[in-house]
Amino acid sequence: MSYLHLNTQAAELITAHGNNSNKGDSLVAKLSSLLSYTAFKKAECESDELFDEVKTAVAASFTKRERTLLAYTRAEAGSLNDLQKSDRKKAQQKIGARCADLYKALKKLQAEPRDTERKSKTLREFIEAEIGKIEDRIAKADNPDIKSVKATADALNALRATL
């Protein structure tokens, strides 16, 4: 198992992203060349140590109170009052939310694009599919008005004939 570590520049960019009120893409673009998007998701991260370092870098942008609450071990956190426990949980969730934001932004930049050559439907195929959907809805209708059904069916048949 390899022990990958976060370099200082990447840690500073992650912290700056948390401090930046603009949340500009320029920080994400700089971070993209230094760190893989997988580092922001525990299940995909190369090492546990790297993920812990990423979380620490994210938390570095938090307030002093939040960082203090996060520093408690699980055993020590049991002795906190309800307000402190609640604030600690919110701070932990904030780390997860920031990691998720960075994961999505970096993945958008780094992941291989999907096959862009999608086969689009012609207008005729699209209209025929929509006519089929309308006919299915008419067939499934409870207590349909026979005159309306006949008029709609005639209109759909006329439309289909023009295609």
Summarised one tens digit per residue, pLDDT across range 17-30 is 666 644 556 778 88
- Please, what's the b/e burial string for 59-91 (b: 16 or more CB within 10 A of its CB; e: otherwise)? bebbeeebeebbeeeeeeeeeeeeeeeebbeeb
Are 84 and 6 within 8 A, CB to CB? no
Kind and range of the H or E element at 156?
Answer: helix 146-162
Quick one: tokens of 103?
A: 């994961």
- With a pLDDT cut of 70, the percent of the chain lying above it is 85
Between 138 and 85, the higher pLDDT residue: 85
Mean pLDDT of the chain: 81
Confidence band (pLDDT; 50, 70, 90) for 31?
confident
The mean per-residue pLDDT over the stretch 149-159 comes to: 83
pLDDT at residue 21, rounded to an integer: 47
3-state secondary structure 32-77: HCCCCHHHHCCCCCCCHHHHHHHHHHHHCCCCHHHHHHHHCCHHHH
Looking at the chain, the whole-number percentage of residues with pLDDT higher than 90 is: 15
Q: Which stretches does DSSP call E strand in the chain?
A: none
In tens, the pLDDT along 74-131 reads 889 889 899 999 999 999 999 999 989 889 988 888 877 665 566 677 888 888 888 8
* Interatomic CA distance for residues 87 and 70, integer angstroms: 9
Give the pLDDT mean for 40-66.
88
pTM for the whole structure: 0.60
